[in-house]
Amino acid sequence: MAQRTVYLETFGCQMNELDSELVAGQLRALGYSFTTDPERADVVLYNTCSVRERAEQKVWSRLGELRVRKAEQPGLVVGVLGCLAERDGVDLIKRMPVVDIMCGPGELDKLPSLLDNAVRTRESFVADSPADPDPDVGDRVRLRSASQVALQGNTSRRSATLAAAEDSLELLDLSRSISPTDHGGTAYVRITRGCNKFCTYCVVPFTRGAEIHRPPEHIIDECKRLADAGVIEITLLGQTVNHYRFEQDAAVIVNGLTQPQKGRAYSPSSGAGHRADPFRGAGVTTFADLLARIHDEVPAIERLRFVTSYPRDFGDDVLQVIRDHPRICRYLHVPAQTGSDRMLKMMNRGYSVSEYLEFLDRARAFLDQPEIGRPLMVSGDFIVGFPTETDEDFEASVALVRRARYKNSFIFKYSPRPGTVAFDKIPDDVPEEVKRRRNNTLLAAQSAISDEIAREQVGRTFNVMIEGVSKQQLKRHGVSQGEIRRQNAITLTVGGKGIGADVGDCGSGCSPVHGGEAPTAGQATEPSETVQLSGRTDGDLIVFVDAPGATATSMIGRILPVCVTSADKLVMRGSLAGV
């Protein structure tokens, strides 16, 4: 087979980003090469998201654009991977005949063989199909060929073959190829797949299947291999990441590998006083145990994070482990979704507002230590306009945003998703205009809090993980982070486009500057002395740091002390302490 060039675009959450990385590694090992230019690809893959209608629309419009291209380039192979593929099923191919491959998130280990089949099928199909003189018929013929489909299907939760699917999916994570140059110092590691919570609005339990916990040995081994390749920050992933629990005795050994197991119905917070896991026994690894083990067994990992947490599953054991293990970050992403108990019930979230607040107070009592430079930062998610939401319900969400003091919140307008309980049982009765207004109001309330929190940090020095050149600067110069990362040279000139002089000087020293002017873009086209880097504190606050062009690339992927010098309009700027 001639070498194929793949364009892979990822939509949706971090779980999808990780899936794309794993898939790309696998395909690279098989000889496929990758391009960032879809026009140059023989294979176009979209790793899709289905969580809201808008996420799906982006993919539909991409597929629509490919129709013309495929009519002109019939050998082009198009694949839809991920949650949209799983949710829509084969109907998607009927609607979009450009699609050759569909592969759900639970079947990604099968992608190489699906792709190989699709490439061969299209090659022979193109060779066998003479162009039809009628352009419309010709197009239709050229678009259609046998499609390659791997989906778990709606029966996956009950299917006896599920275990086998999980086993090979585990191999996908285990076979991760880790490039020492491409990671920028940070990486995701999955600890749990799927979700069992069935919030009434959410597609994830249907697209990602049942909750399955990976064996701790596999996770720790992966962390060690990442550390060996130079990764210093790991983010553990799970839909309800803190619900992690692995029982050794329940695990099965197949072909010498410990196989993953499903979650057991259990909630640490149901124990008296949230003290310990009441069901804990020999051979059990709780989330607290896992965090402590990774921290202690992989010391080269300087930062350990985890997302997304479920408010009900935080026992004191987890909070203690975070407090007592210095390389675990003081950052929790704990979506509340709404501040109204009535809405929480309708959403099937399984907690009340007062339980949520009790958890937040407890977390802050354990973990908020600004005096040692480690304030606890919390972020949230909210849905506005869930069916029947009244002004009063909505005001309760505004009140919760103010009371919780999130550093930021992700705010979404309710989007009815086919297949969910809310879609089937509760009419989407909040008008779009009301949703939009509530979205803006909640955003404004959150922005005021975010601004206050940013200003509180001025004058403090934090260890900041330098992630790369700031997005604004990359955008202005049409350069990608990957291109920067691959340059070992200190010059930040890519494709003749210089990066530099348009960044203002954020001042020197560590003297607090409240509400400083945001730097304005200049006209420079020549590469120059200053590069604007962006990085994150342990609490996940984003800080911009100006660095001399001569040393900027060498700072990327490192944790450096930064003094926050100003905060304005949610933007925090700092300078390298001691530089």
C-alpha to C-alpha distance for 151 and 162, rounded to whole angstroms: 12
| CB 515 within 8 Å of CB 544 | no
Q: Using DSSP, state whether 27 is helix, strand or coil.
A: helix
Binding flag, residue 205, ligand SF4 (CB under 6 A):
yes
Binding flag, residue 340, ligand F3S (CB under 6 A):
no
Binding flag, residue 207, ligand F3S (CB under 6 A):
yes
What's CA 12's distance to the chain center, in Å? 7
Binding flag, residue 10, ligand F3S (CB under 6 A):
no
What's the min distance (Å) between Cβ of 199 and ligand SAH? 6
Joined together, the tokens standing for residue 448 give 């005021």
Q: Based on CB atoms, which residue is closest to ligand SAH, 53 or 228?
A: 53
What's the min distance (Å) between Cβ of 365 and ligand F3S? 32
Binding flag, residue 309, ligand F3S (CB under 6 A):
no
C-alpha to C-alpha distance for 367 and 17, rounded to whole angstroms: 29
The phi, psi pair for 17, rounded to 5°, reads: -60, -45
Question: CB-based contacts of 384: which residues, under 8 Å, 6+ apart?
Answer: 394, 397, 411, 412, 413, 414, 435, 438, 439, 442
Binding flag, residue 203, ligand F3S (CB under 6 A):
yes
Rule CB under 6 A: choose which of 6, 143, 169, 195 binds ligand SF4: 195
3-state secondary structure 344-369: HHHHCCCCCHHHHHHHHHHHHHHHCE
DSSP-assigned letters across all residues of 250-261: G--EETTEEPPE
Rule CB under 6 A: choose which of 34, 198, 266, 279 binds ligand SF4: 198
Rule CB under 6 A: choose which of 149, 150, 202, 343 binds ligand SF4: 202
The DSSP H or E segment spanning 445 is: helix 432-456
What would the x/- binding string for ligand F3S be over residues 78 to 117, using CB under 6 A? ----xx----------------------------------
SS3 content of the chain, % helix, strand, coil (to 5): 40, 20, 40
Q: Using DSSP, state whether 200 is helix, strand or coil.
A: coil
C-alpha to C-alpha distance for 85 and 212, rounded to whole angstroms: 21
Rule CB under 6 A: choose which of 76, 84, 111, 199 binds ligand SF4: 199
Binding flag, residue 240, ligand F3S (CB under 6 A):
no
| Chain positions contacting ligand SAH, by CB under 6 A | 51-52, 201-202, 204, 239-240, 308, 335, 337, 381, 383, 412, 414-415, 417
Binding flag, residue 423, ligand SF4 (CB under 6 A):
no
Binding flag, residue 534, ligand F3S (CB under 6 A):
no
Q: Based on CB atoms, which residue is closest to ligand F3S, 238 or 574?
A: 238
Q: Return residues touching ligand SF4 (CB under 6 A).
A: 195, 197-199, 202, 204-205, 239-240, 310
Q: Return residues touching ligand F3S (CB under 6 A).
A: 12-13, 15-16, 49-51, 82-83, 203-204, 207-208
